[in-house]
Structure 1
Amino acid sequence: MEIRNSYLAMIRAFAGGWDAMAAALGYTRDALENRIYEKKVRMHVDTALAMQKLSGTKFFAEAVARESGGTFVVLPVVDDLDNDELLTKFTQILQQLGELAKRHHEALEDGVVTDVERRDLKRIADTAHRRIEELLAITFRIYCDDESEQTATRRE
């Protein structure tokens, strides 16, 4: 999803659509349309983030991540998680990697990776990546103190 499409998707996801989203942001509908379609004024990141929050979606973050060559990962809320949760996440990751290996082999059998195969491989890899990031987030939240986690983040 490209950035402009993320704006439109957030408007569709917001109850009341264009007029309600514009009002919630303190704009007229025309002012919102001008920002989305960049007619003499550009969309500000703060406005896009407000739209994302209002719509209860992650469309903008996903579009920015994709345009940046990455994948957006929603980190899980960690309350009472333990080693069983970590084991479950590891199992899911291994299953996903097994599926990726199988589909990768099938895609290469004829020497050509079709658009459908490419999208399928990308989807599987993105899911595995998200699960790996979730596993690390859970691990760090359970087993790291806040200070060491902040220090590790600054070094990256």
Structure 2
Amino acid sequence: MDMIGAYPGGWDAMAGALGMTRDALSNRIYERKGQGILVQTAMEMQEFSGTTIFAAGIAAMSSGTFVKLPDVDHIGNEEITGKFHEIFEEMGKLSANFREFTSDGVIDPGEQESLNDLIDRMHRTMDELRALTFKVYCPETKAATVAKRGEKHV
């Protein structure tokens, strides 16, 4: 429903963009009358709404994190070097937080959430670094090739 709210015009506009009535969209969203949303329809809704909500939801359900690759036209070594600096800063924060949070011998739920947030941010930064590196130095490499890399770890 967040994708519908993000689309200008809301329910009626999204239904129209998908070529269905508001009632038909509502029946699919709320799974009434034996209906449901097809993956292709969810992908269209995501594209129309300009969000990554569906992708993030699938990643979360798969115990993962969705990382939107950077969309930059003019990039070079300076931007790549900046990503390395971000990783080093984040690693320093992780090390300091780890030392602080484990000093009492227990990581409480708030500390665990803080560590998870920082580690997720580090993963995003590293994926951005990889995407920028390949975009600059491997012009034939497409974002899809970078995305396929994850399949090797399945």
What's the TM-score, normalizing by structure 1? Answer: 0.82
Aligned-residue offset at 1:145: 4.6
Aligned-residue offset at 1:109: 2.6
Would you say the 8 A contact 2:135–2:141 is kept in 1?
A: no
Runs of 4 or more, structure 1, over 4 Å off, are 147-150
Unpaired segments of 5 or more residues in structure 1? 1-7
Would you say the 8 A contact 1:65–1:72 is kept in 2?
A: yes
- 1:68 is aligned to 2:62: yes
RMSD value over aligned CA atoms?
A: 2.3
Judged with a 3 Å threshold, the aligned counterparts in structure 2 of structure 1 residues 96 and 147 are, in CA distance, closer, same or farther, namely closer
Equivalent-residue separation in structure 1 for 2:121 and 2:12 (angstroms): 35
Instruction: State the number of aligned residues.
Output: 147
- Secondary structure at 1:146 match in 2: coil
Unpaired segments of 5 or more residues in structure 2? none
Judged with a 3 Å threshold, the aligned counterparts in structure 2 of structure 1 residues 29 and 61 are, in CA distance, closer, same or farther, namely same
Residue 41 of structure 2 corresponds to 47
Residue 133 of structure 1 corresponds to 127
Equivalent-residue separation in structure 2 for 1:108 and 1:147 (angstroms): 42
Would you say the 8 A contact 1:90–1:135 is kept in 2?
A: yes
State which of 54, 71, 81 in structure 1 corresponds to 2:75: 81
Residue 19 of structure 1 corresponds to 12
Equivalent-residue separation in structure 2 for 1:70 and 1:124 (angstroms): 14
Would you say the 8 A contact 1:78–1:141 is kept in 2?
A: no
Deviation larger for 105-114 or 129-138: 105-114
Question: Sequence identity of aligned pairs in percent?
Answer: 46
Report 1 or 2 for greater relative contact order, CA contacts < 8 Å, sequence distance ≥ 6.
1
Aligned-residue offset at 1:60: 0.6
Aligned-residue offset at 1:78: 4.3
Equivalent-residue separation in structure 2 for 1:123 and 1:82 (angstroms): 28
Aligned-residue offset at 1:28: 1.6
Equivalent-residue separation in structure 2 for 1:108 and 1:59 (angstroms): 34
Equivalent-residue separation in structure 1 for 2:142 and 2:61 (angstroms): 31
